Amino acid sequence: MMNYPLTLTNLLKRGTTLFPQKEIVSRELDGTIVRLNYGEFYRRTAQLANALRELGITKNKRVGTLAWNTHRHLELYFAVPCMGATYHTVNIRLSPKDIIFIINHAEDEILFIDGDLLPLLEAIKNQIQVKTFVVMGNQKKYNTTLSLINYEDLIAKQPENYDWPELDEWDIAGMAYTSGTTGEPKGVQYTHRALVLHSIVAGLPDIMNISESTVMLHIVPMFHANAWSIPFATVMTGSKQVFTGPRATPEDMIGLIEREKVTFTAAVPVIFRMLYEYLKANPGKDISTWKNSVCGGSAPPPSLVKAFKEDFDMEIYHAYGLTETTPLITWNVPKSYMKLDDQAFYDLKTKQGLLVPLLEMRIEKSDGSEAKWNGEEMGELLVKGPWIAKEYYKDPDETFRKMTKGWFRTGDIVTIDKEGYIKIVDRIKDVIKTGGEWISSVDLENEIMAHPAVLEATVIGLPHPKWDERPLACVVLRPGMKGKVSEKDIVDFITPKFAKWWLPDKVIFIDEIPKTSVGKFDKKVLRAQFENLYQKDQE
């Protein structure tokens, strides 16, 4: 067979030449809806590539984006890598300190920024080396001291075609930094080859089932692991795409689902919960086209998956991955021969799922041997494959720690059942080590969150003079439930599910669980806050 490179240019050309009339819909900050078709998307992408060339962007140079999910961000997703340069999506929710670090570390040449984020840039402009800023949005004037180029002016007069270079599939297309819940952000570079192979696999029927007839709503941020690579997969298949735009509320998102007849979306559990609560509070929305979604980033509580299915006939599929893995590692779909009652079905749904095609895995116990497929033995998940990072950008020490002997260490502790379904029982740093045994904080959290009065819950291990660590449950009650539910009620509720030594020593009611920049529970904040709780008990 031919030695033919797998590049994003091929996906761009296919999508835009075969489906030129398919629609892209994007919401501006002020609520205005922009509509363009794939033909116009191609021409604008070519114009952008021409403009970037004029601005001095050449092969391998980095183009930073500080941006929401919009059609302009999609144009950057293609123009930059297809001209041979590298897009670098900066996570806008990181601290200014981290943003400064990653823009300088990546050596971005230009920054494309959405208008509402200018104050963020204004605050850090003297600490970053980038001097060229392109502002995106439909606003004409901005109140800022920054010297800005307007995106629409930048591309307006450019030719509507581009002589796309022949690329090598190993060329770098994009990069992103991990959100840094475990220390300083670490850079990951994605090759064209990785993104193309990932797009094909992500779209398979037993995975996201992305086809020409899919109407995709992009909720998962484009600054997070390539928006799970969905924008590439949907351009490849010519699917209609809907972008939520800056600062979208649940009302905005549901409005887009209703009006644009969205069939599929991707988001983290916190967003699904907000959408569910909104739908409950605002009955009568016609979301009947919305049949499936993928939930990742952290595990969705089974109660939420069930409620969406029963109340709105919308099936949430569970997927798992990391920034370093492009991100897809597993996808959860029951096998056709499985006969599952309701309970078993939702228990299965909480697992992270089956390894996706083209990857290999190893589940390594603390003694280095492999865990048995019995759903009980715990080990760290190691993976390898065509879209798994082999190194961190300019960080040999971290590379050495995480990439050993051709494997990438996920830092996730998992079990695997006899059918091959992986279940994350914890992160290596969150698993509660008590009396020489491990307790899964995640299992406890899921059961507590099934209590009808509980809005959110997290369980952390606190230092304990006798047992090393003991669990503490931090619980947020639903509005109106405060004072009506006791510590004992919560413990009694989960007692039938666990061995006695698993039960939290205390339950604390709090107003809100601190979240990381990407909406995950930030356990280190709670661990610091309650650090001495069990020490004191013993005094």
Residue number, 20 or 514, with CB nearest to ligand ADP: 514
- The C-alpha angle with vertex 208 and arms to 387 and 330, in degrees rounded to 5, equals 50
Token representation of residue 351: 């697992």
**Least spacing, CB of residue 143 vs ligand ADP, in Å:** 34
Catalytic one of 28, 109, 260, 324? 324
State the Cα–Cα distance between residues 422 and 416, nearest whole angstrom: 4
476: nearest Cα among 441, 448, 439: 448
Q: Could you tell me which residues come within 8 angstroms of residue 201 by beta carbon, excluding any fewer than 6 positions away? A: 207, 328, 356, 357, 358
State the Cα–Cα distance between residues 267 and 276, nearest whole angstrom: 13
330 and 355 Cβ atoms separated by less than 8 Å: yes
Catalytic one of 438, 506, 516, 524? 438
Token representation of residue 414: 């998992």
**Least spacing, CB of residue 182 vs ligand ADP, in Å:** 5
26 and 68 Cβ atoms separated by less than 8 Å: no
**Least spacing, CB of residue 134 vs ligand ADP, in Å:** 27
State the Cα–Cα distance between residues 427 and 79, nearest whole angstrom: 37
Residue number, 7 or 189, with CB nearest to ligand ADP: 189
174 exposed, middle or buried (CB, 10 Å; 0-12, 13-18, 19+)?
Answer: buried
**Least spacing, CB of residue 268 vs ligand ADP, in Å:** 9
Point out which residues pair with 33 in neighbouring strands: 27
Q: CA dihedral in degrees (522, 228, 323, 174; nearest 10)?
A: -130
Type of residue at 145: T
**Least spacing, CB of residue 383 vs ligand ADP, in Å:** 11
Residue number, 68 or 320, with CB nearest to ligand ADP: 320
**Least spacing, CB of residue 402 vs ligand ADP, in Å:** 11
Residue number, 117 or 299, with CB nearest to ligand ADP: 299
176 and 108 Cβ atoms separated by less than 8 Å: no
240-243 and 23-27 strand pairing = parallel
5 exposed, middle or buried (CB, 10 Å; 0-12, 13-18, 19+)?
Answer: middle
Catalytic one of 97, 390, 394, 433? 433
Give the Å distances, CA to CA, from 85 to 11, 56, 129, 171, 376. 17, 11, 18, 9, 46
**Least spacing, CB of residue 410 vs ligand ADP, in Å:** 5
Residue number, 261 or 524, with CB nearest to ligand ADP: 524
Type of residue at 182: T
Catalytic one of 178, 191, 263, 458? 178
Determine whether 324 is an active site residue.
Answer: yes
Residue number, 85 or 294, with CB nearest to ligand ADP: 294
**Least spacing, CB of residue 505 vs ligand ADP, in Å:** 25
164 and 48 Cβ atoms separated by less than 8 Å: no
Residue number, 81 or 297, with CB nearest to ligand ADP: 297
Residue 436 has phi, psi (to 5 degrees) of: 80, -5
Residue number, 144 or 517, with CB nearest to ligand ADP: 517
Reduced to 3 states (helix: H, G, I; strand: E, B; else coil), residue 262 is coil
Residue number, 50 or 179, with CB nearest to ligand ADP: 179
**DSSP character string of 308-376:** HHHHH--EEEEEEE-GGGSSEEEE----TT----HHHHHHHHHS-BEEPTT-EEEEE-TTSSBPPSSS-
User: Which residues here bind ligand ADP, judged by CB under 6 A?
Assistant: 178-182, 296-299, 318-323, 352, 410-412, 424, 427, 518
**Least spacing, CB of residue 352 vs ligand ADP, in Å:** 5
Q: Could you give the residue numbers annotated as active site?
A: 178, 324, 433, 438
